[in-house]
């Protein structure tokens, strides 16, 4: 076991806090431990390893019984300082926050005033495009406005992010302007008829992703891409990062750094291979670490054995409560320490090298990639 307890962590992919993290209900707390639709998994969440591990961890941290009632009561009476202290104790130095989800969340400026760590924005491109639909612009004007919004966002955010894997999959290609314009008109008609601004038309989504690639190339910002498992509305087969190969082989995008999120689980071998052969591909470890807990060590060891350590980045994909962000950092150190320890035991690296690699993954790589 390599000791990484003194290594600071940069959470390279997380979500905002709840508007009032101290007022969370028991039911809402259960929803934070499932990717299922809100309210649908509450009977089963208490029987997951993730939830059990989290209650034990939070109970120890807060000095109370490992029950939902005791933990929420301690959080209500302890004040906002508990969350602030948790992140400090867990050495979380910076949070890179996807402001695209959830829609009702604490503003970044409030988070900055609340927490004792750096807070940086990650800008979600689909949320930007959906907000522009309300203006019902002509298609060419819509693209101009969208490009301008992304360019402005790149001036303040450390990265752009896409969830195209959820909507139409990662098999992205170029489309004729006529087809993309027709898809845009269909989107506007559907919004008027059904009141939904959700983008689902593939020609339009692929085109918006290409514009984001252009903006990232011009502004030298990385693009984070959801891959692997997530909410039940994702087609898991279409979220395999290997589908991005045409994008990676396109010389237009050779200089755009792509961050494959969530260890692409269960496609972690594919993600590691991609990081090993394409210089612009990086792999984020979020979501897999909290959900798998100790079981993340075997896939993580495989990834460490194949992918360059300079291209792996810690992240949690958690949000809502600051204590959960702190908890994930603690678990990441333990999982990394175990995987790196296995490699040391098998003469793949020295203990000193393992500690250096752990520092890279926990904070060094993100600091360099995102220019923190």
pLDDT, tens digit, 9 for 90 and up, residues 163-212: 999 999 999 999 999 999 999 999 999 876 777 778 999 999 999 999 99
Instruction: Give burial (CB, 10 Å; 0-12/13-18/19+) of 79.
Output: exposed
- Nearest alpha-carbon partner for 226 in 126, 133, 363, 295: 126
Q: Given a cut of 90, is residue 299 above it in pLDDT?
A: yes
**Confidence band for 237, pLDDT divided at 50, 70 and 90:** very high
Beta carbons within 10 angstroms of residue 105's beta carbon: 19
17 DSSP 8-state letter: B
For all residues of the chain together, what is the average pLDDT?
96
pLDDT, tens digit, 9 for 90 and up, residues 14-39: 999 999 999 999 999 999 999 999 99
Buried b (16+ CB within 10 A) or exposed e, 156-169: ebbbbbbbbbbbbb
Measured distance CA(96)–CA(117) in Å, rounded: 11
Measured distance CA(230)–CA(207) in Å, rounded: 23
Measure CA of the first residue to CA of the last residue in the chain; give whole Å.
29
**Confidence band for 55, pLDDT divided at 50, 70 and 90:** very high
**Confidence band for 101, pLDDT divided at 50, 70 and 90:** very high
Q: Which residues contact 300 (CB under 8 A, 6 or more apart)?
A: 263, 285, 335, 336, 339
- Angle CA(182)–CA(185)–CA(190) in degrees, nearest 5? 125
281 Cα distance to chain centroid: 15
- Nearest alpha-carbon partner for 225 in 267, 263, 261: 261
Measured distance CA(299)–CA(6) in Å, rounded: 24
> Are 50 and 33 a contacting pair, CB within 8 Å?
yes
Reduced to 3 states, what is the DSSP secondary structure of residue 253?
A: helix
Domains of the chain with bracketed CATH: 9-18+92-369 (3.20.20.140)
Residue-level pLDDT at 80: 82
126 Cα distance to chain centroid: 15
Buried b (16+ CB within 10 A) or exposed e, 295-313: ebbebbbebbeebbbebbb
Measured distance CA(86)–CA(60) in Å, rounded: 12
DSSP assignment of 182-209: HHHHHHHHHHHHH-------HHHHHHHH
In this prediction, residues 105-121 reach a mean pLDDT of 96
> Are 284 and 252 a contacting pair, CB within 8 Å?
no
Reduced to 3 states, what is the DSSP secondary structure of residue 257?
A: coil
> Are 361 and 300 a contacting pair, CB within 8 Å?
no
Model confidence, pTM: 0.96
Residue-level pLDDT at 103: 87
């Amino acid at each position: 076991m390599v000791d990484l307890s003194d290594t600071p962590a940069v959470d390279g992919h997380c979500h905002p806090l709840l508007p009032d993290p101290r007022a969370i209900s028991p039911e809402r707390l259960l929803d934070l431990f499932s990717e299922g639709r809100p309210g649908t998994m509450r009977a089963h969440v208490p029987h997951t390893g993730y939830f059990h591990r989290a209650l034990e961890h939070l109970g120890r941290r807060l000095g109370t019984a490992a029950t939902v009632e005791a933990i929420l009561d301690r959080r209500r009476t302890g004040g906002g300082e508990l969350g602030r202290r948790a992140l400090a104790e867990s050495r979380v130095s910076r949070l890179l926050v996807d402001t695209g989800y959830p829609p009702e969340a604490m503003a970044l400026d409030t988070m900055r005033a609340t927490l004792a760590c750096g807070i940086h924005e990650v800008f979600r491109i689909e949320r930007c495009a959906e907000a522009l639909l309300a203006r019902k612009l002509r298609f060419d004007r819509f693209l101009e406005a969208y490009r301008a919004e992304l360019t402005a966002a790149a001036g303040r955010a450390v990265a752009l992010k896409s969830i195209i894997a959820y909507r139409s999959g990662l098999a992205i290609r170029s489309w004729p302007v006529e087809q993309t314009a027709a898809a845009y008109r269909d989107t506007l008609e559907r919004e008027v008829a059904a009141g939904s601004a959700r983008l689902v038309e593939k020609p339009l989504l692929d085109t918006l992703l290409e514009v984001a690639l252009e903006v990232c190339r011009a502004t030298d910002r990385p693009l984070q891409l959801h891959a692997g498992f997530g909410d039940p509305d994702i087609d898991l087969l279409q979220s395999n990062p290997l589908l991005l190969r045409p994008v990676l082989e396109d010389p237009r995008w050779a200089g755009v750094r792509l961050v494959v999120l969530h260890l692409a689980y269960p496609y972690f071998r594919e993600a590691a291979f991609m990081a090993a052969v394409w210089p612009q591909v990086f792999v984020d470890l979020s979501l897999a670490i909290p959900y798998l807990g100790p079981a993340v060590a075997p896939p993580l060891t495989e990834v460490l054995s194949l992918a360059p350590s300079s291209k792996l980045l810690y992240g949690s994909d958690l949000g809502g409560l600051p204590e959960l962000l702190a908890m994930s950092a603690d678990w990441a150190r333990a999982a990394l320490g175990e995987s790196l320890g296995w490699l040391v035991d098998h003469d793949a690296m020295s203990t000193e090298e393992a500690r250096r690699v752990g520092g890279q993954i926990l904070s060094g790589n993100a600091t360099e990639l995102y220019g923190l």
